Structure 1
């Protein structure tokens, strides 16, 4: 269940090929998860070889069904290899996940990415790990410093009682992945939120657009947050400087919420900043705009100076807080 991406030179190391990072993507269900991994690979700029693994790999449908969540048992909502979804006993998944993580820890991967939320248990690893739930929690904590009200959409009702405690300052909603009617119903309960987080990696950009259209709010997916965290880890391994920008927010909407600077942004500076605020790397922005990554760095620096900001994270927080105070 592995695949290799085209060889690319790493940004900042022109003229030499470096060691290709080996990444293991781990899901709490069954691999492969092309729907999620495709989006993650786009955010990694193709700078990795990868394989996919699932905690429920090797089990038949009937074997999985034997461990469905029942009664008061904590449930996790996940996808099987045939594309169907199932609610599985959380303790059973964690037990299998621990064994899988132990196995992968000795396989020589440069990075392991747990592409699932709802797993709160830590894993003792020698290999660098992007823990999906912890990445999402850290992202939330960065915004709530500014008293941002975050609404959350979960795939299962019980999960809204398990996550983030007092960090969530808005109403919570529940909606199963792919259920259009329930997504719209969930959106109706989130009118007081400044920002909406779709807490399962099963929610894609189309789901986020649907929620955004109903609420008029900025929407971020756990999928994008985890991808941004993985990209940051790989960039640090390669010695490439990253800003730590929080991914998946719509850059144009964020810029509109900011006061106009004394010296207006040029069209190119605005284009670059829009992509920066969405968590894209300089190299990726350069390809999208048809300019070099060095030119991207220049426009990015000028835009940040005009807005008197030290990081994209600061601009995101500022945009959300200012938008709420103006309402």
Structure 2
């Protein structure tokens, strides 16, 4: 195997819905996983639900269920997973989430999909109308604010979860097409390449995935 890279999810590991697909893009890389919600019961996880003013995250549990949590409750648990994976020999860490995070302590390269994605979009989408698909309606204000600062002409966000009925994703794509989106960001690590391909077909414009942007960055650095 190639270099060992840590993959940290805000949910539970293993992320069987993400890791097999991104490994195909990473080349000679060994991914070792850790999750902020590993070891917690469903009842303990539901106690982490966001309230007014919280930064909202949506993620997947190991049994496939989706949950909504407040970022503030998992920051220490994310740091603990980063520390563990580095101690076990990871040459770098990639976060399996496209949300915004404070700077974690890490002596190795730490890749945030949100930063990679933001800089990529700024490079290719200047002056364009940017459509966003985000998992939950509670996330619409925070992602609209974030992407409006990316140098685009206008932003519209529509909620549709990668962990629920795919028909909602196609409906969101239709709405963004009607609005006139010139580029789509599917703003969750849970969206896969098959979903991206269908959104591109519906809208007639490119759609970008956090997971593939992050995977290609890992390959560039470590493969």
Q: Normalising by the residue count of structure 1, what TM-score does the alignment of the two structures yield?
A: 0.62
Please state how far the C-alpha of 1:158 moved relative to its aligned partner: 2.8
Task: Give 2:215's aligned residue.
Answer: 227
Contact 2:32/2:85 (CA < 8 Å) preserved in 1? Answer: no
Task: Give 2:129's aligned residue.
Answer: 149
2:46 and 2:149 map into 1 onto residues whose CA distance is 35
Task: Give 1:176's aligned residue.
Answer: 161
Contact 2:147/2:155 (CA < 8 Å) preserved in 1? Answer: no
Task: Give 1:24's aligned residue.
Answer: 6
Contact 2:26/2:215 (CA < 8 Å) preserved in 1? Answer: yes
Cα distance per residue 1:258-277 (max 9 Å; x no partner): xxxxxxxxxxxxxxxxxxxx
Cα distance per residue 1:130-152 (max 9 Å; x no partner): 112111112112113x4233211
Name which of 161, 164, 169 aligns with 2:147.
164
Counterparts of 1:112-131 in structure 2, within 5 Å, are 112-131=93-112
Task: Give 1:312's aligned residue.
Answer: none
Please state how far the C-alpha of 1:122 moved relative to its aligned partner: 1.6
Q: Which has the higher strand share?
A: 2
Please state how far the C-alpha of 1:194 moved relative to its aligned partner: 1.5
Task: Give 1:3's aligned residue.
Answer: none
Structure 2 residue runs of 5 or longer lacking an equivalent are: none
1:37 aligns with 2:25: no
Cα distance per residue 1:82-125 (max 9 Å; x no partner): 11110112211223112322333333211211111113312232
Say which structure, 1 or 2, has more relative contact order (CA 8 Å, 6+ apart): 2
SS at match of 2:40: coil
Counterparts of 1:300-311 in structure 2, within 5 Å, are none
Name the larger-Rg structure. 1
Please state how far the C-alpha of 1:230 moved relative to its aligned partner: 1.0
Please state how far the C-alpha of 1:204 moved relative to its aligned partner: 0.8
- How many residue pairs end up in the alignment? 215
Task: Give 1:216's aligned residue.
Answer: 204
Please state how far the C-alpha of 1:26 moved relative to its aligned partner: 0.8
Structure 1 residue runs of 5 or longer lacking an equivalent are: 1-6, 8-19, 236-327
1:94 aligns with 2:75: yes
Q: Normalising by the residue count of structure 2, what TM-score does the alignment of the two structures yield?
A: 0.88
2:48 and 2:131 map into 1 onto residues whose CA distance is 31
1:82 and 1:99 map into 2 onto residues whose CA distance is 22
1:166 and 1:24 map into 2 onto residues whose CA distance is 30
Name which of 56, 65, 68 aligns with 2:49.
68
Task: Give 1:266's aligned residue.
Answer: none
1:58 and 1:100 map into 2 onto residues whose CA distance is 12
Cα distance per residue 1:18-53 (max 9 Å; x no partner): xx31111110000000221111110012x1222111
Please state how far the C-alpha of 1:166 moved relative to its aligned partner: 2.6
1:148 and 1:229 map into 2 onto residues whose CA distance is 24
